[in-house]
Amino acid sequence: MSAIKKQLFEQLALIAHSLGSPQRMEMLDYLAQAERSVDELSQLTELTIANTSRHLQILKQHGLVNMRKQGKNRLYKLAGDDVVKLISSLRNTAENHLAEVTCLKSSFIANEIKNQTISSQQLLDKIDSRDLLLFDVRPSKEYQQGHIKGAINIQPEEIETKTENLAKEKIVVAYCRGAYCIYSYQMLESLKAKGIEALRLEDGFPEWKAAGLPFEVCT
């Protein structure tokens, strides 16, 4: 029994090894949003094709991502929503026990919008309200592969032009990739400059989907 227990811990350590690379963590973050090719991930992470492939093979070998072939391309996606929950748990633990994480997070979040948040449950309670304006502030590809029910896509580069003339009496909520994504923060800052109060979803779309909450896919 002791030998089996040691072997089980060895297998758990393989998962920890997979997460022990900032490059692989970044890749998992991108794959949580949408299925992507090696070339696309290489561009997003600013790594060579060879390095990107090497990191993806480790993630695939240890069961965190799946791969399928489409013509000459190899497309990767997360192996399951439990991978999103694993990363969220890691992030929460780091924020609770590593002061440097809190300092780094504070460095890109403006104090005046830091607390303008809404929880997933609070948003779920308002999801069918006619007074709600829900914005998905992510690239179009990510929105098309999955978004919160009823969300309107505003791509990051459109924040300034697409937020004019919003009805101030509406409940405005924005979300993006997750806790460390700046797009929803940028939108809140833009709206605040226009005199419109808005809220930011505490988490991103991957956490919403992983929790089994209602989402849609563009067909």
Angle at 157 between CA 151 and CA 160, to 5 degrees: 80
Long-range contacts of 18-24 (CB under 8 A, 24+ apart): 18/58, 18/59, 18/62, 18/64, 19/86, 19/87, 19/90, 21/55, 21/58, 23/47, 23/51, 23/55, 24/55, 24/58, 24/59
CA 127, CA 103: separation in Å to the nearest integer? 33
Q: Identify whether the C-beta of residue 106 lies closer than 8 Å to the C-beta of residue 113.
A: no
How many Cβ atoms from other residues are within 10 Å of residue 165's Cβ?
8
CA 76, CA 10: separation in Å to the nearest integer? 25
As a 3-state breakdown, the chain gives helix, strand, coil percent values, each rounded to 5, of 50, 15, 30
Q: Is 176 part of the annotated catalytic residue set?
A: yes
| β-bridge partners, 132 | 171
CA 208, CA 190: separation in Å to the nearest integer? 24
Catalytic residue among 103, 176, 181, 218: 176
CA 65, CA 69: separation in Å to the nearest integer? 14
Catalytic residues: 176
